[in-house]
Amino acid sequence: MNEALAIQPEPQVNVRGREARERLARLVTQLFEHWQLSSSEQAALLGLSPENRSTLSRYRRGEPLADNRDLLDRAGHLLGIRKSLRILFPQDRDLAYRWMTTTNRRFGARPVDIVVEHGFEGLLALRRYLDFERGT
């Protein structure tokens, strides 16, 4: 086989590097602002205790997310949810931003409440639901 035609794997991004974790912190905190989540909701989405406002404040100031697998996985799923919402509602950014805090008939609750109540499994359920709605 011609090596020039061989499919090259996509380069792996080291999300555990400090620079990548700083960028993730900025993206996630901006997303929380767009979604207009309370501090306790933000903490829940990141798997932090509701009283952990100092950690959220550090992330808002640009400190990197902790090098913690659960936290980095949660950040990745949150950004995946953001991407799905932008794809599903390309003409209505406000709807995409309100989706997390608007009662969803399918869930019988606000999507953010699903994560608050069910933790990581709730986050995965939202991500799978949106991926299904996108047809992926």
Residue 1: inside a domain: no
Q: Can you tell me whether residue 109 is helix, strand or coil?
A: strand
Count of the separate structural domains present in the chain: 1
The letter for the amino acid at 75 is A
pLDDT of 5 reads 46
Half-sphere exposure of 23 (CA within 13 A, CB side): 10
Interatomic CA distance for residues 25 and 68, integer angstroms? 13
Residue 6 lies in a domain: no
pTM, two decimal places = 0.85
Residue 3: inside a domain = no
Structural domain contains residue 122: yes
Pairwise CA distance, residues 36 & 97, whole Å: 8
In a domain, 23, yes or no: yes
Q: Is residue 22 part of a domain?
A: yes
Assigned domain for 2 exists: no
Q: Is residue 7 part of a domain?
A: no
pLDDT by residue for the chain (136 residues), tens digit each? 444 445 544 444 566 789 999 999 999 999 999 999 999 999 999 999 887 889 999 999 989 999 999 999 999 999 999 999 999 999 999 999 999 999 999 999 999 999 999 999 999 999 999 999 998 7
Q: In whole angstroms, what separates CA 130 from the centre of its chain?
A: 12
The residue range of the domain holding 90 is 12-134
Q: Note whether 102 and 110 are within 8 A (CB).
A: yes
Helix ranges (H only) for 89-119 are 93-98, 111-118
